[in-house]
Structure 1
Amino acid sequence: MLSSPIDARAKRQAFRLGLASGRIQRFPGAFTPLSTALIEAKGFEGVYLSGAVMAAELGLPDIGLTTLTEVAQRAHQVARQTSLPVLVDADTGFGEPMNVARTVHELEDAGVAGLHVEDQVNPKRCGHLDGKEVVSTAAATRRIAAAVAARRDPGLVIMARTDVRGVDGLDAAVDRARALVDAGADAIFPEAMASLEEFAAVRAAVDVPILANMTEFGKSPLWTAQQLEDVGVSMVIHPVSLLRVAFGAIERALDALATEGSLASQVETMQTRARLYELNDYQAYAAFDAGVFDFEVPGAPDRQHRGQGALP
């Protein structure tokens, strides 16, 4: 009820243990705090918060227009809602090394388990688009060193994303990954890999976990979690997938409403009222204060809920 019973330090420890487990950690991208309840219920290991999704929710393209304040607020809303570790996209760290340090403090306070900082030039663009520019290795490593130095909780995972593969090729990406690890990165996010062999090459080059981005319509084929685990990938994200699924359904429903005059044909595909109330834990609020909720929800399951309890 209200928020997860598990504190941020415990989530960070769970994230680190998962990355070290040898089993690939699957982090679907949340596009609302409520969607974390479904991710958790379906047995995934964590939640990803994508910069592209946060921008899209504001009606903006993914070119670095969101602010640290907006990202930190959304990160807090998402992280407090789930017992799973949350990894958040911190873009380029919102500025120079001192700005990167402040970014770490703000996101640490938001309760995330980890964040990644990338090596693109501002204004950045989606990692699976052409025409990207990256900063020098010296500038990229300064960003990561600043993030590591600013971290107050040693459990917070500082991940370095590199977009060099799409600019200068695989060998340059491997060299950049090694430099980022030397600067203190806990994990490496090599963006836009073209083959499983490329992931294996990065895996062989560094002694920290690596992440695969399985975004639809991108540069990388949509490999399975098992295929990625087999070449040594530690974590896979599906950053924009749930947003795309949801907006596809919304568009189809709006088309039906426009042509048919009602949504009667769409009801079978909708989430039920009972399922919505289950996900936002109505019953726990009822147990806490009967004045909040004192009616039966048709079709609601009879089960115990997380956080259920009574006033002392």
Structure 2
Amino acid sequence: MTPSLDDLPHGYSVGPVHRTPATRLREMLNSNDGIVTCPGVYDGLTARIALNAGFKCLYMTGAGTAISRLGMPDLGITTLQDMVTNAGMIASLDWTVPLIADADTGYGGPLMVARTVEAYISAGVAALHLEDQVVNKRCGHLLGKELVDEAAYLSRIRAAVLARERMRAAMGDAGDIVLIARTDALQSLGFEAALDRLQKAIELGADVAFLEGFTSVQQGKDACDRLTPTPVLLNMVPGGATPNFTSAEAQEAGFKIIIFPGLMLAAAYGSCVAAAVELKDSGTIAVTEKQRKEGPKGIFTAVGLLDCLTFDKKAGGTSYEGGV
């Protein structure tokens, strides 16, 4: 007998109820339910925390991936393998929650961009964004960014669209992915040139526009107005080049997606620095009442302990009959 959804662990689905992550994201973009708010996650723990908080879409930050996997800054050091392995792990935690993932420059020329898109689709990623910086890129809110020329940028977008078409032909809906065209041209080429790049990317088949590093609320509104009906993504980096927006303010300005890439990274950094200093200075760490009550099982539960035990029991396993 086919189990009901209520019988399955978190993140599982069966039969006709299944929709691909890209399909789910497209439904969100086409709905009138408001802006899609995405917390930035970078590993399994931060993704689980965001899922447990009830977010309906996640964003995998490239900077967070570089920092967490390599211990290095966001300077174009990560490879396709670094990024797609991390994205695939995060996406697999709950297939019903779409994952938008940074794909940097596509990691090379058109053939490499196509390989990147196909790898992200195979990993279950709902959407990716490609940018127009040189391969040795940097965080979009740092200075001194170098761009490829327009022809090279558009070849990346064209390659991504062609790769998606090839995957759709082979896999149907499972071969779909939402393509987000990002430009960092505003800083060096100006607003009109940046919008022109985005409009040309949309004409080639990009689904969403991403103007990085705009510096005024009016610029953000103008970009949304000029690019309509294409959905526009807002990258919210506190302390970065872009003014601070809440989700409600971003929706009012016309944005359809808002990502907070540094959300978990900043919180983890601050907390971990404080904990390290406390241990170094005092030789111990304070234990909260919650920690004392839950022990390590509290964290294990947050990352799916009960789902694992339930699944093992349904499969006939006996390893955890005595509890954990």
TM-score, shorter chain, exceeding 0.5 = yes
Determine if contact 1:162/1:190 at 8 Å carries over to the other structure. yes
The Cα shift of 1:269 comes to 8.1
Determine if contact 2:22/2:177 at 8 Å carries over to the other structure. yes
SS in 1 for 2:158: helix
Give 2:280's aligned residue.
258
Deviates more, 1:58-67 or 1:89-98: 58-67
Determine if contact 1:12/1:85 at 8 Å carries over to the other structure. yes
Kindly indicate which of the two structures has a greater share of residues assigned to helix: 2
**Corresponding residue to 2:55 among 22, 41, 44:** 44
The Cα shift of 1:275 comes to 3.2
Structure 1 unmatched runs, 5+: 298-312
Give 2:318's aligned residue.
291
Determine if contact 1:2/1:81 at 8 Å carries over to the other structure. no
The Cα shift of 1:296 comes to 5.5
| Residues 267 and 184 of structure 1, relative CA distance in 2, 3 Å threshold | same
**Corresponding residue to 1:67 among 49, 69, 79:** 79
Instruction: Measure the CA separation in 1 of the matches of 2:13 and 2:215.
Output: 38
Instruction: Measure the CA separation in 1 of the matches of 2:197 and 2:46.
Output: 35
Determine if contact 1:30/1:48 at 8 Å carries over to the other structure. yes
Give 2:98's aligned residue.
85
The Cα shift of 1:242 comes to 0.3
Instruction: Measure the CA separation in 1 of the matches of 2:50 and 2:72.
Output: 25
SS in 1 for 2:129: strand
Deviates more, 1:269-278 or 1:228-237: 269-278
Give 2:254's aligned residue.
232
Instruction: Measure the CA separation in 2 of the matches of 1:13 and 1:222.
Output: 30
The Cα shift of 1:43 comes to 2.3
Give 1:128's aligned residue.
141
> Among the aligned pairs, what percent are the same residue?
34
Instruction: Measure the CA separation in 1 of the matches of 2:276 and 2:288.
Output: 13
The Cα shift of 1:291 comes to 3.3
Give 1:31's aligned residue.
42
Determine if contact 1:282/1:293 at 8 Å carries over to the other structure. no
Instruction: Measure the CA separation in 2 of the matches of 1:172 and 1:203.
Output: 15
Determine if contact 1:157/1:186 at 8 Å carries over to the other structure. yes
Instruction: Measure the CA separation in 1 of the matches of 2:115 and 2:217.
Output: 36
Matching of residue 156 in structure 1 with residue 167 in structure 2 = no
Any idea what the Cα deviations from partners look like across 1:18-54, whole Å, max 9, x if unmatched?
1122410011111212322221222222110111111
TM-score of the superposition, structure 2-length normalised?
A: 0.85
TM-score of the superposition, structure 1-length normalised?
A: 0.88
SS in 2 for 1:132: coil
Matching of residue 248 in structure 1 with residue 277 in structure 2 = no
CA RMSD after TM alignment: 2.1
| Residues 167 and 110 of structure 1, relative CA distance in 2, 3 Å threshold | same
SS in 2 for 1:18: helix
One-letter amino acid matched to 2:305: Y
Number of residue equivalences: 296
One-letter amino acid matched to 1:148: V
Give 1:216's aligned residue.
238
SS in 2 for 1:208: coil
The Cα shift of 1:280 comes to 2.3
Structure 2 unmatched runs, 5+: 1-7
